[in-house]
């Protein structure tokens, strides 16, 4: 019998879940990206183990800022208590001087940022697989892919992307989006570019993906 494909039901965010957001930006230079990276909390400046810990006492924080080649100049990955705090960070930090960036915000509706907080505790349990992009040690070569997906095929696409047989060790995470032009964001990474470029061809084999926008990291101007 053929091996069973993994079943990873798309869940629903709960009231105490924190949420991730992926901010596509125009006007991001190397200096601006470095300045945003300096705003990261210590947990994301010094990731220990496979995943970063969820910072405590912060309503919103930057996880990463990367310069890209592609349709956008970069992407800023953030997490927050709620959508209002995402808005505050976008308008209060990214749009404001000295950054002065043009943005398109994609708010993730699954999975929850950094796992789920158990009622009555302050420490969230380890997040169940899959994790969203940028919750682990970053690779040197990264591809960021915005997917437009047939809504009737969303669960099947999600299962295929998270199947270890699809992207192997290059898979860095994925999130389902509730705003913006894409329905899903996927990150692939490796120590060199060849595995990332070869793995990205697997998107063509996944039924339900209607369109894909590809970006690759760059040191930036």
Count CB neighbours of 32 within 10 A.
Answer: 22
The CA–CA distances, whole Å, from 162 to 141, 154, 213 equal: 20, 12, 19
Look up the CATH architecture of domain 19-110.
Answer: 2-Layer Sandwich (3.30)
Topology adopted by domain 141-217: Alpha-Beta Plaits (3.30.70)
Q: 0.75 exceeded by the pTM? A: yes
The mean pLDDT value for 83-111 works out to: 93
Position 1 confidence tier, pLDDT thresholds 50, 70, 90: very low
pLDDT of residue 54: 81
Q: Which spans in 77-131 are helix H? A: 83-89
Residues of the chain with CATH 3.30.70.920: 19-110, 141-217
pLDDT value for 8: 78
Rounded to the nearest integer, the mean pLDDT of the chain is: 88
């Amino acid at each position: 019998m053929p091996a069973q494909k993994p079943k990873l039901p798309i869940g629903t965010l709960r009231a105490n879940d924190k949420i991730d957001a992926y901010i596509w930006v125009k006007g991001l230079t190397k200096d601006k990206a470095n300045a945003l990276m300096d705003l990261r909390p210590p947990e994301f400046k010094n990731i220990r183990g496979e995943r970063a810990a969820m910072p405590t006492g912060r309503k919103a924080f930057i996880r990463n800022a990367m310069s890209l080649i592609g349709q956008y100049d970069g992407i800023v990955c953030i997490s927050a208590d709620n959508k209002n705090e995402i808005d505050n960070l976008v308008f209060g930090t990214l749009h404001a001087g000295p950054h002065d960036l043009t943005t398109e915000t994609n708010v993730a509706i699954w999975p929850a940022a950094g796992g789920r907080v158990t009622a009555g505790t302050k420490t969230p349990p380890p997040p169940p697989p899959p994790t969203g992009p940028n919750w682990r040690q970053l690779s040197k070569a990264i591809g960021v892919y915005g997917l437009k997906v047939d809504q009737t095929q969303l669960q099947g696409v999600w299962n295929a992307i998270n199947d270890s047989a699809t992207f192997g060790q290059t898979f860095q995470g994925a999130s389902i989006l509730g705003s913006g032009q894409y329905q899903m964001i996927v990150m692939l990474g490796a120590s060199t570019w060849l595995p990332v470029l070869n793995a990205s061809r697997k998107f063509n084999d996944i039924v339900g993906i209607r369109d894909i926008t590809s970006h690759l990291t760059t040191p930036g101007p």
